[in-house]
Chain A
């Protein structure tokens, strides 16, 4: 199975690889997936509390090229969005942008889950209730 050019580009030149200081109150961290399943994503957001805008996003991913590309793309999309806007990122947008084949849809779901987990971590840290999301159905 050949990867799409966009996946290859993100794999070769991943955007925003790295770690944010998770002890900071305005940093939310989402860690999703499991080593046994072959993919683990950690996605972090740094929020400007006055504007509720995501000013920085970083990721680290253990997984296949599509998982790496999905998380790389997610961090690109997150930057500059408000937290509310970030919640509207749908896994199918990622599938479309990266031309992921059906067997790789779970990678995009994982990225969406990671975004939601990071946002909830940020909310809880700042005294808000976590948002109850529906269970992902794909995996």
Chain B
């Protein structure tokens, strides 16, 4: 019996897919251009959807909208010597990700044909919307191993964080007023806790270790009879460090305390399973996982224990009374689709981003006095935070930020002039915090973009060091700590 030559067949298939993808990509750009030309040529007073527009739209929808490998494109020419790449390069995916074209495709009908209110129970418009929301709720639940009834749609993770923490504080007031969190949480958690402190909450802010993870013994020691909530993020937005979530959950369970996790950066990127992880409440959002902005979810456990949070908005009693407000149906549909894609493609996305991230990191660490921030052993696959000593982050970004989008721990742009509190919490001096860049990759990041980034960042670091008095002193063997700086 002749055996099929699988590797070769697979290679052929992939090549064919690649050609098709390239074709689709070019076609989608061409058809988008055609669409624009048709739109522009339209005479005033002529109805917008003439046959030509419809044809162009059809072509665009067929080849542009559905092509999974369609890349967000910007107008820009590469100066990169090897091949032409699309500029600017987007490596700020911890801030937000591009919406996957397949997500957009799924959403579009819910702006137009199926525009109904999911709460309208008495006609087909409402039924279609409700059905779509139910389906999305399943897609979202499936990604995190939850029951669809445990998903509360929100406007995003800031709302989720607020609803979870304030909601627990109010609902469990009779049990206690003590909340434990940590000092590298997102501001949506920290500021919510600060707000509650004014209303009588007692909050413990745990320090993290140098590697960015909390000390479990410290966590357990902080628990008191009045403790009602432990709020520890799944993975950090600036350094990508993943917390020991299961161990935290075990401690919380042992002491009968609820465990809330802001999992914005983790969900969709690494396996998150609320049951196996032992999380009671969890906030996440669409736009960090190739979904749309303005939609997110709060997971609220229904069994062992059944958790309740007090609503923070009064109104029509949507979302089991926990979050009133007409549901953002197109957003929810897109969020659901994004969750489904992440579930199906997580493994390949993670392999792709971690390979490129490691390549980027290894190349940049060849630069003298460059350091990775955060524990590399417990880190999201697509994030790298690197300090380039003796150059300032914002100045560094200026060298390439027309062509490469990253972010910096330097806060030179803000009025406070304070560098990243997350990096400072790791024990980094302000100088190193000022010198950091965060790279966040996505499923759309290409090898060429990473090669280009390595070249640009390296050149700029070297150029700025030639201009840096600190670098000169370091090279002369002067200990910068012995200098009396004029602090301002």
- Listed in ascending order, the chain A residues whose CB lies under 8 Å from chain B are 1, 3, 8, 11, 14, 17, 19, 31-42, 60-65, 67-68, 103, 106, 110, 113, 136, 139
Contacts and interface: CB of A to CB of B under 8 A. Distances in A.
Which applies to chain B's interface (DSSP): helix, strand, loop or mixed?
loop
A64 B488 contact: no
B143 to A, nearest CB: 36
Interface size class of B (residues with CB under 8 A): 20 to 34
Given A63-B392, A103-B415, 11 more contacts: A11-B398, A33-B485, A33-B486, A34-B488, A35-B470, A36-B429, A36-B430, A37-B487, A38-B431, A64-B392, A136-B488
Residue of B419, B468, B483 contacting most chain A CB atoms (<10 Å): B468
Interface stretch (B63-71, B211-219, B406-414): B406-414
A1 B413 contact: yes
A61 B469 contact: yes
B167 interface: no
Contacts of B487: 34, 36-37
A137 B119 CA distance: 59
A34 B485 contact: yes
B312 to A, nearest CB: 33
Contacts of A8: 398
Given A3-B398, A64-B395, A68-B395, A38 B412 contact: yes
B398 A62 contact: no
Chain A interface mostly helix, strand, loop or mixed? mixed
B388 to A, nearest CB: 11
B395 A63 contact: yes
Interface string B410-438: 11111101010000000001110010000
B467 interface: yes
Contact of B395 (A17, A34, A65): A65
Interface in B367-407: 390-392, 394-395, 398-399
Contacts of B480: 35
B392 A62 contact: yes
A62 B468 contact: yes
Contact of B413 (A36, A103, A110): A103
Contact of B469 (A37, A60, A106): A60
Contacts of B347: none
A40 B469 contact: yes
A37 B416 CA distance: 10
